[in-house]
Amino acid sequence: MRKVGIIMGSDSDLPILKKTAATLTSLGIGYEVHVYSAHRTPAEARDFAVSARKNGFGVLICAAGMAAHLAGAIAANTTLPVIGIPCKSQTLDGIDALLSTVMMPSGIPVATVAIDGGVNAALLAAQILAVEDEGLAAKLDEKRRKDAAAVLEKDRGIAERIAE
């Protein structure tokens, strides 16, 4: 199976990407992680993207905050699918990064998940890889069954809890 690239604009984004990495690991998906910034290390970010396909990656996940150009800059240099995670900032609560990541002009797509959506980025990457991998698709089905069972377990106890 191809691996997932996790790139963050700063190590201050790490808490969000820990969730991404844990979710990938729980599904048996390998990953490689880097700190590359579209602004501070543009050459390294470009070089990584240009060589990602031949280096065995299948999907790239890019997390950045503020004027978040990382996902778009990576996507400009590869035709691998790129998933953007807008990270919350102190000043604008992540709206800045959300708009910077999601509003890509026609021609260079970035699949954007929710602000700080580290888990969904991993799940979307898994679903992309699962298009050609029945075993991985079965693992995703099983996870959804478990998640649904956990919700229904809460449903059974909610009438008592609301009266506490």
Binding site for ligand RP5 (CB under 6 A): 9-10, 12-13, 37, 64-66, 87
Q: What single-letter amino acid sits at 1?
A: M
The least distance separating ligand RP5 from the CB of residue 40, rounded to whole angstroms, comes to: 7
Q: Provide the minimum distance between the beta carbon of 12 and ligand RP5 in the complex, in angstroms, as a whole number.
A: 3
Q: Is the dihedral of CA 7, 124, 73, 95 positive or negative?
A: negative
In angstroms, the Cα distances linking 30 to 24, 90, 100 are 7, 32, 28
The answer to whether 61 and 20 are in contact (CB under 8 A) is yes
> Shortest approach of ligand RP5 to residue 112 CB, angstroms?
14
As measured in angstroms, the least distance from the Cβ of 13 to ligand RP5 is: 5
Between 65 and 117, name the residue whose CB sits nearer to ligand RP5: 65
Work out how close the CB of 11 gets to ligand RP5 at its nearest, in angstroms, rounded to a whole number. 7
Residue in the structure block whose two tokens are 């050459």? 43
Rounded CA separation 5/82 (Å): 9
Helices 14-26, 118-130: crossing angle, 10 deg rounding = 40
Helices (H) and strands (E) in the chain, counts: 6, 5
Q: Considering the complex, state which of residue 12 and residue 55 has its C-beta at the smaller distance from ligand RP5.
A: 12
d(CA 62, CA 85): 6
